[in-house]
């Protein structure tokens, strides 16, 4: 009989997975040291991987889905058109608020926060707060100014031309 820890892609030390969480294909899931998966979370890698870094907090009722259904051929049933997707990578020290959804081909960089109820469809840079449906960056941390800045077009431009970091 195989121990559950031997079935994982990787399972770090001091990981807490609430007993009501649903995880399928655990050989395609990696969870780093000290991370926490909340109650009723749903992690579903099918053809791709879900990689969760160290000290990540995933609150209750979060869904992380690395694959989606094709639907473009209207002459076929959706269930017969196959699936597509991509890896989801959640780097270290990330907090994902309750009832959020993380979809395929997304990287959430170190130190970022996903606000409760958000739907993440594109990658989030380091030390950002993203919120909404679809999630957009609403704050970003400036090391130069040593504070969180509301993210608007002006602040975005300052980061892009490297006037602040």
Tens of pLDDT, residues 17-76: 999 999 999 999 999 999 999 999 999 999 999 999 999 999 999 999 999 999 999 999
> What pTM does this model have?
0.90
Q: CB count, 10 Å around CB of 77?
A: 9
Mean pLDDT of the chain, nearest integer? 91
Q: How confident is the model at residue 1 (pLDDT cuts 50, 70, 90)?
A: very low
pLDDT in tens, 110-162: 999 999 999 999 999 999 999 999 999 999 998 888 889 888 766 777 777 66
Lowest mean pLDDT among 3-7, 35-39, 82-86, 154-158: 3-7
Could you tell me the residue ranges of all domains in the chain?
A: 4-160
Pairing of strands 50-52, 88-90: parallel
pLDDT classification of 2: cutoffs 50, 70, 90? very low
pLDDT the model gives residue 112: 98
Q: Which CATH number fits domain 4-160: 2.160.10.10, 1.10.3720.10, 3.40.50.300, 1.25.40.10?
A: 2.160.10.10
Answer whether residue 11 shows pLDDT above 60. Answer: yes
Per-residue pLDDT band at 5 (split at 50, 70, 90): low
55, two tokens: 């000290």
Confidence (pLDDT) at 3: 46
């Amino acid at each position: 009989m195989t121990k559950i820890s031997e079935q994982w892609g990787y399972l770090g030390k001091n990981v807490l997975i609430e007993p009501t969480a649903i995880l399928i294909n655990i050989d395609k899931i990696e969870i780093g040291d000290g991370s926490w998966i909340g109650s009723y979370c749903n992690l579903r890698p099918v053809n791709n991987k879900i990689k969760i870094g160290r000290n990540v907090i995933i609150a209750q009722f979060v869904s992380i889905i690395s694959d989606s259904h094709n639907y473009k051929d209207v002459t076929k049933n959706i269930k017969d058109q196959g699936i597509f997707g991509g890896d989801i990578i959640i780097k270290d020290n990330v907090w994902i608020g309750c009832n959020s959804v993380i979809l395929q081909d997304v990287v959430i960089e170190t130190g970022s926060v996903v606000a409760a109820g958000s739907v993440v469809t594109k990658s989030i840079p380091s030390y950002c707060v993203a919120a909404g449906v679809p999630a957009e960056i609403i704050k970003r941390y400036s090391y130069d100014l040593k504070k969180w800045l509301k993210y608007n077009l002006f602040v975005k431009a300052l980061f892009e031309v490297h006037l602040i970091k």
